[in-house]
A and B are shown apart, each in its own frame.
Chain A
Amino acid sequence: MRYLPLTDNDRQAMLAKIGAKCVDDLFVDVPEVARLNGPIHGLPMHASEMAVERHMKKLAAKNMAAGDVPFFLGAGAYRHHVPASVDTIIQRGEFLTAYTPYQPEIAQGTLQMLFEFQTQVARLYGCAVANASLYDGSTACWEAVAMATRVTKRKRAVLSGALHPHYAQVVKTMAHFTGDEIADALPAITPDPELAGLIARIDEETACVVVQYPDILGRISDLTPVAEAAHAKGALLVVVNTEPVALGAIKSPGEMGADIVVGEGQSLGVGLQFGGPYLGLFAVRDPKHVRQMPGRLCGETTDAEGKRAFVLTLSTREQHIRREKATSNICTNSGLCALAFTVHMTLLGETGLRQLAAENHRLACLAADRLARVPGVEVLNNAFFNEFTLMLGGKPAREIIRDLADRGVLGGVSLGRLYPGVDALEHALLVAVTETTTEEDIERLAQELEASIKETV
């Protein structure tokens, strides 16, 4: 077996040193009834690289890769071009095969990278401090709610109806067990987010109000009034962002008064990967909240020679020190995805990020205008970044999407899949456009959508 260096001679010599006759002597503490004799039943025997590769490639070939067809899916996962050097860097064994940097003297590579990552995320979000990553945007969203309940010592969270429904589901699942109260809602299908209703739901018991920006329908609006209303009641504003590229063009949540900003970082460096691994981003605007943050934090210090060095710090918040009193149970996070994000962001820089955002928006505007000309189709949004909602004039979006796939176009996300049972959303289609979208792709979608609408009852 190619991954096992011991030879039979080695094994015999080692058993002799141990004083055991055979390897099963080392398993004597396993009760007889639980011991298996011979290889486990029902599974194949070992296989060569070639054979395994053949098997996996067959499975991969059954999928329609986004790069092979006109592709318009978003809803919290966006397809961007990842520069070739990103993957080269993250495959360096010193990064790929390292552990969480518990021995900082020999982990400065990971630690300095995390310090750079934290700085990039904090600046992108308009915040003071970001942590070293969480699993993904949805779990980061729950961690933000949990943190807000610790900070305010209140137990009620108000969710915007236009928060990604998976994120809302995660929050509700967790809150059920912690005993927190979640006030959620369905999205109002209006050209602009319905903030007045959201503000009206904030009361003196509210720990935080959670708003997505741009929201699940792709809409954007100034959240300053929400921040003011929340603060007036002693609540925190949590802003969720699922498309970090947007913040290269539109105001940061921190600028609008968000107290905690969380999001999905997958857009930069990580890729689609069928939903994971992704990258949870988490930041706070006010440094006074640092000690209530979940997850790992990398800080600057010096070594015994006075040289600058980096180390995981404030770990008295964490499970391995605080056990049942920890701020979160998170241990392993998304280190390598954070590296991919940081390398991509370094390649972009301020200039490239702004260019990337502008190019996304230019193509999205083009697509919105073209698709609005398809008979029976209306663009819902007044404002958007690179994603918007199409109303299909009473046609079922789910069937249209399946039909488009049969025509070789991955045309978007049907909101009916995300909001089952909500009639009004059955006819809404979410379309995302990035720099990877070509004008030919847009034309193709417009034509196939027109044909599909005509043929779908």
Chain B
Amino acid sequence: MKNNDVKTLAKGSDKAVDMVLKLLKEKLSKYNVRISRAVANNLIVDVSRRHLRDVAKIVHNELGAYVRTCVGCDERNKNGCFAVYYIFGLDDYGVNVIVRTLAPANDVKVPSIADIAPGADWCELEFRDLLGIDVTGRPVYRLILPEDWPDDLHPLRKDVPYGVRPPPVKREGVTLTELESPGIPVGPYHPALHEPEYFELYVEGETIIDVRYRGFHIHRGIEKLGESKLTYKQIPFIAERICGICGFCHSTCYVMAVEKAAKIEVPERAEFIRAMVLEIERIHSHLLWLGVACHLLGYDAGFMHTWRIREAIMKLAEYLTGSRKTYGINIIGGVRKDINKEKIQNVLRTLNYIEREVKELIDVMLSVPEVKRRLTGTGILTKGEARKLSVVGPVARASGLNRDVRKDYPYLAYKYVSFKVPVYTEGDNLSRTLVRVEEIFESISIIRQLLDRLPGGDIKVEKYEIESDKVSTAAVEAPRGEDIHFLITGKGRPYRWKVRAPTYQNIPALRPMLREQLLADAPITIASIDPCFSCTDRVIIIEIRNGKIVNAKRINIVRLSRKR
């Protein structure tokens, strides 16, 4: 599939889409499929449930596509069916292949493709929970909704109001009798965690053999609010508050998806400003992660110094946008705040300060014996496993996969700047740290290039029309990985809005990483994928040893302070 044509191709262009269209027609000729073009670089392949698994096998294995997400949608008032969209991404061409299948309302089930493409595992359980579409051919369990939610009420269906409050349902827990080793419960409120998540670590001596995780404590019903209460103009503000650390990426991604669907031409100056603020957010997030990693390793001096340097970025962000975090400058059609000469001088001065200080501090930090020894060789994720699970972000780049949305599916002003994507091959905690450190310096260089070439002009478009029934996707490289939003437009507000945050794809990678690890290495390994559970809102039960899924008894919360 790789030939000279592909190497010189402009990714995401019309020519690339035509090449993929031809390729799909040739490979899928013996199945009864209909291929059509959607907005921008998206192709929709309509296939019946009977041939779904074969088509998925061809697209995922033969064409080498990565699973990005899958979305369920209630389209009963359009065509009497529930629809499921599986989004595959072809990184070499910069094109998305969306495989759509319909399930009629009286036979709501689809076959599972989780054994062909393990990256789609959680998404299937999600649309089973929230929409009631049954998935056959795999073990199923409740993923997202609270434990005391009734079984037959599915919030994302169009006939369920957004404020429904059903009375709680009592459930019986099953005690674990098959595993003999003791389980150590961590959370939901634990000094090592900042968010409520529940881990149970099953150990033999000091080695972990099993992990059970119940998350989704932060599920707030954002997608339902976006589809039934809020309008197009209000959603950027709720999207920004999905996560307090990478919020600007979510609001940029949503706004880009709407602009692609409505064919709005955003002025170039606004694209430059958005790219600059995205890079500022990346620097702030990586510095935050470095501080938290040092704190978990017991090196508190590193924590204090990293956050001292990070304060300069927070002050800069407030000066540019009006708020330290959750900036609120994205609107459909552009940005709200402009940049002038004085602000540019301030940015350049702050960047010089940060570059100097971070270089000196990292030099010292990585030469501390305890930091170096605890990071090297722990939490290894091999390249094969990373590819199978479709991981994203620094986790993928530290395991040898060269994936970066800024290069593969170019967006905003990134086509005007040149930068390097750091890739390491060892796959341990130290490589993930080094990838993030290098990205800080690359971001500083990107901002300098953007400010150099900043064009003049307007910063927003005032008049636009948004048509209904357009399918659109947009992806952004958040500090933690690839963040993708899927949108079907409706009248006045979206018909379906789906957010897939990067930590979604990365948490299943904890299973191979924690296998046969010492208990003391578990916190830094879990932190090394930079989990952001408020982006994720998901639940997973990971069983390492025997692959069976059981429900655990709700054990009382025991405070263990194992860090120091």
Is chain B found bound to chain A in the same assembly? Answer: no
Residues on B lying within 8 angstroms of A by beta carbon are: none
Interface residues of A (CB under 8 A from B): none
